[in-house]
Structure 1
Amino acid sequence: MGKGYSVWVASNSYVVGSFACIGGGLFGLDISSMSGVLNNPYYLDTFDHPGSSAQGGIVAAMPAGSLVGALSVSYLADKLGRRNTIIFGSMFWILGSILQAAAVNRGMLVAGRIISGFSVGICSATVPLYQSEMTKPSIRGRMVALQQWSITWGILLQYFIQFGCSEINSTASFRIPWSLQLIPALVLGIGLLFFPESPRWLVDHDRREEALGVLADVHGKGNTQDELVQIEYHEIVNQVEFERREGAKSYADLLKRGVARRVGLGTSLQMWSQLTGMNIMMYYVVYVFEGAGITGRRGNLIASSVNYVLNVALTIPAIIYIDRWGRRPMLLIGLACMATFLYLVGGLQGGFGNWGTVEGESKPVWVISDNDSVTKAVIVMSYLFVCSFAITMGPVSWTYPAEIFPMRVRAKAVALSTASNWTFNCALAWAVPPLLEHISYKTYFIFAAFNSAAFIHVFFMFPETCGRTLEDMEDIFGQGHVFQAWKIKRTVGVKTLDQVAHEKPTTTHIEDKTDSTSKVEETAATTA
């Protein structure tokens, strides 16, 4: 089986893990597909000048569909496989893009966004799952973090396409960008046909020879007898056999001791990622800079574009160093910084703003006028907020839930975690325009408080998982009722390749799991 794959496709963990990230790019494309048209006169005329509630509903249609899509992964990823589920999701994106590009009224636009959202929900839950099961522990965080980077690239590319089309004096100014976004889905769906299935899924479906071939291709340059490949293969087999003895895979397993805690961490982290306030900066960045005093459609679009460039650029350090810095430090530092910058934005707007009118808006908005220094300060704080999210919470919020669950419930638990993301994404997408309209600058204080609460939660409840194998998470979360997350450190002590090569993996007893786990993790750390 392993020899059947193209060498270029299957022999490199980075190639396998990064290509799937196109699924994350679909999410990014959809985010900025609306932010760039909010003050487009042709968009407004075509869809009857939607008010704050109506516009919130249009934007929220995508995360509403994503919620359903993410929940469906709990069945699809176990039934169809990780790879085929992503391919399935790409088909819905193509259909949704066609409907959006051809929309002539709000109903058709909302329908297209719901279908596209269903695709995004499937891909956003399955891509990290696929990546985490295809990569070594030493680079797992880096590869799953690429999911977030692909999201930022999707946001950036779609926004600049819309920026370029904004000079077109017709509905083509928004129909062309909405049409072009189906191209990545075509590439993803067709390209994944040439990629391997997750070895953990293959073992779980009694296709062990295929699983060994995939592991050999991805981690051992095609050599099925490679010591590290054998260790990881037997580790997965032991874990699957153990979980089968534990009972059937069901939603009831999510409530079992040791698992329920992880479900709470995964769902809450995805919730906090939305409650940080990043939605404001991505979906409604045009409104944010209107409040800062930047008027005029072109000037606003240029200022907003910097946000997206920074989002892409500052995700790169996180990808490179996430497996060195660790998950906890990134979360804690990021949340503290985001809370600080939002408090400053709210304070500056509250202290120097007033109700007024701006170009393209019929209703009064809270705006800073005739104060360039304060306007620049608000813009800088907004940029720093985006940078803080991009380098910390953004990538970790996808990495952490994908690596903490046992295999028997991994698909269901990751799907539930991602569903939490989309639940709050949908609620905030709908709520932010009315909030900005009615309480203006106070909106920033609300999200600053959320960041402060998240900091406390992470400090007391989120242990470090950096460098651990997926099967090794049982040791982290199996410490009884007293759980002091801040005392749990990453793994220490590294063996050389020669030491591991002379140690035979054990294949018969699940009790040997911890020993082989440490070998995989320590060797991976050595080779990274």
Structure 2
Amino acid sequence: MAFIGKFIGCLAAGPAIEKYGHRMVFYALSVISIIGVIGEITALPIEITAADDGPGTGRLAQFIVGRIIVYISIGLVEVDVTTYQSEIVPAPFRGLVVISLQLFLVAGSLVASGANKAYETESEGVGWKTITGIQLIFPVYRDEDAIVSLRRLRPKEDALNGKCEAEIREIRECLREVAYKSSWIDLIRGSNLRRTSIVIVFYFFQQVTGQAFVSTYQVKFYQQNGYAEYAYTYPLVCSVLGVVAVIIAMCFIDNLGRRYTLLMSYAFQALWMYVIAGLGGVSHPTTTSRNAIVAAFMLYQLSYNAGGASIPYLLGAEIPNGAVREKTQSIGTAWNVIWAFLTNFIIPYMMEHIHFGIGWVFGSVSLVALLYTFFFLPETKGRTLEELEVVFAHAYNPFRRIDSSYMNGEVDPVSPNCSDAPIYCNPDSGKPRTHVEHE
């Protein structure tokens, strides 16, 4: 049920950012999160106030309402944070910054796993209320003013000589002159159709290559298959590995690139899922094979977080052109929520009926994801958002390297026209800006 809230948040985020800006949406999502945890809506106590201390006295429906509200803020986060980061960060390390969202997601998972382990045997209300209340720590933070933030980001001498203030004025003036947001129908017009489809497909793969099986249902899986003693300990190890994997990905994403990172991630995801399925199908498993299954679970978590988990957020933020960036990310994340709901809904039935065979299913989907990445995803590392206009003006061929004169300050002969990407047009000439003009 919580996915209802996330879907609403994702779909509403794009139009809200275009109308009110990233900053106001940051404030809004924080307030919504707080309301979901401790506030009241339509006169009903929400989430943390939804039960008494004694077992069996909880008001489940009210708790679910609270979760739905909290998940609205999560949907807003995934669109607001990634699009904001992609626009303020220079191309050489845009990947490092944007996929940091996944670092905080897995760090949150680590905190949750630790709290769950701490209260594993707690049957009174203090256990679940403490775990729920932890959510209050983070929405109370606020962003600094734009000039203060720039002073932190820019060299000290720039802050002292007033260049930060001048930069803010220049940004505002530029936005007044050339900023343009297209309608929803433009998501499927011209080169935008290809870009939108890539974003949607990778958000699809983020959910259907087995992550919910390994993360959401791993405790239940361990309990059902003879690992009950460690059912709350193994997820802690997986969460730690997830944090390590994302840190590694952040360090290498802008050097290795999006394509190669995803290709390796999907290849290993398929491998570990097949190992789980193969060893799990043995009639009389040994201690070694049982341990190998647990290891495969953990290695899958490492492989998934190194690429398949984090890079879709990056692609959704950098592939769309500026006129439809927020809307594309909204559609992509909303589509992601639909498949998150479907996979979380059907996995318990798969576990009940095909048991370890679930690995054959998700492993095969990972192979499909690998093939799609190879044949359809162009490399975007190191390119400015403006240069990506040229990349997607070409039909992609995985066996041919794109050679764009745009990188040298010229406009490629097949660059998109102003109707495709008005934000990158020279308002005086009505023609696409050159790299030099944009800078």
Question: TM-score over 0.5 for the alignment?
Answer: yes
* 1:311 counterpart letter in structure 2: G
User: What residue in structure 2 maps to residue 295 of structure 1?
Assistant: 228
Q: CA deviation at 1:339?
A: 0.5
- Is 2:2–2:71's contact at 8 Å kept on the other side of the alignment? yes
Q: CA deviation at 1:225?
A: 5.9
Q: How does 1:60-139 map to 2 (within 5 A)?
A: 61-98=1-38, 99-103=46-50, 104-139=58-93
Q: CA deviation at 1:507?
A: 8.6
- Is 1:262–1:405's contact at 8 Å kept on the other side of the alignment? yes
- Is 2:36–2:67's contact at 8 Å kept on the other side of the alignment? yes
The 1:326/1:434 distance shift into structure 2, 3 A limit, reads same
Q: How does 1:227-376 map to 2 (within 5 A)?
A: 244=180, 249-296=182-229, 299-352=230-283, 371-376=286-291
The 1:375/1:216 distance shift into structure 2, 3 A limit, reads same
User: What residue in structure 2 maps to residue 30 of structure 1?
Assistant: none
Gaps of 5+ in 2: 39-45, 51-57, 409-425
* 2:86 counterpart letter in structure 1: S
Q: 1:484 and 2:397 equivalent?
A: yes
Q: 1:406 and 2:321 equivalent?
A: yes
Looking at structure 2, the residues matched to 415 and 304 of structure 1 have their Cα atoms a distance apart, in angstroms, of 30
Q: CA deviation at 1:309?
A: 0.7
Q: CA deviation at 1:487?
A: 3.0
User: What residue in structure 1 maps to residue 381 of structure 2?
Assistant: 466
- TM score, norm. by length of structure 2: 0.84
Looking at structure 2, the residues matched to 493 and 253 of structure 1 have their Cα atoms a distance apart, in angstroms, of 24
- Is 1:466–1:490's contact at 8 Å kept on the other side of the alignment? no
Give me the CA root mean square deviation.
Answer: 3.0
* 2:436 counterpart letter in structure 1: S
User: What residue in structure 1 maps to residue 130 of structure 2?
Assistant: 176
- Is 1:468–1:491's contact at 8 Å kept on the other side of the alignment? no
* 1:249 counterpart letter in structure 2: S
| Matched-pair identity in % | 24
Q: 1:166 and 2:120 equivalent?
A: yes
Q: How does 1:30-49 map to 2 (within 5 A)?
A: none
The 1:313/1:330 distance shift into structure 2, 3 A limit, reads same
- Is 2:391–2:402's contact at 8 Å kept on the other side of the alignment? no
Looking at structure 2, the residues matched to 404 and 111 of structure 1 have their Cα atoms a distance apart, in angstroms, of 35
1:181 aligns to what SS in structure 2? Answer: helix
User: What residue in structure 2 maps to residue 39 of structure 1?
Assistant: none
- Is 2:116–2:232's contact at 8 Å kept on the other side of the alignment? no
- Is 1:406–1:474's contact at 8 Å kept on the other side of the alignment? yes
User: What residue in structure 2 maps to residue 378 of structure 1?
Assistant: 293
Within the candidate set 502, 505, 513, 2:433 is matched to 513
Q: CA deviation at 1:416?
A: 0.8
Looking at structure 2, the residues matched to 380 and 492 of structure 1 have their Cα atoms a distance apart, in angstroms, of 48
Looking at structure 2, the residues matched to 494 and 224 of structure 1 have their Cα atoms a distance apart, in angstroms, of 31
* 1:305 counterpart letter in structure 2: L
Looking at structure 2, the residues matched to 214 and 486 of structure 1 have their Cα atoms a distance apart, in angstroms, of 43
Over residues 15-65 of structure 1, what are the superposed CA-to-partner deviations in whole Å (9 max), with x where a residue is unaligned? Answer: xxxxxxxxxxxxxxxxxxxxxxxxxxxxxxxxxxxxxxxxxxxxxx22221
The 1:408/1:156 distance shift into structure 2, 3 A limit, reads same
* 2:109 counterpart letter in structure 1: I
Q: 1:429 and 2:369 equivalent?
A: no
Q: CA deviation at 1:109?
A: 2.3
Looking at structure 2, the residues matched to 77 and 66 of structure 1 have their Cα atoms a distance apart, in angstroms, of 16
Count of residues in Structure 1 that have an aligned counterpart in Structure 2: 404
The 1:471/1:250 distance shift into structure 2, 3 A limit, reads same
- Is 1:97–1:112's contact at 8 Å kept on the other side of the alignment? yes
User: What residue in structure 1 maps to residue 43 of structure 2?
Assistant: none
Looking at structure 1, the residues matched to 329 and 437 of structure 2 have their Cα atoms a distance apart, in angstroms, of 22
Q: CA deviation at 1:80?
A: 1.1
- TM score, norm. by length of structure 1: 0.70
Within the candidate set 102, 106, 111, 1:157 is matched to 111
- Is 2:203–2:312's contact at 8 Å kept on the other side of the alignment? yes
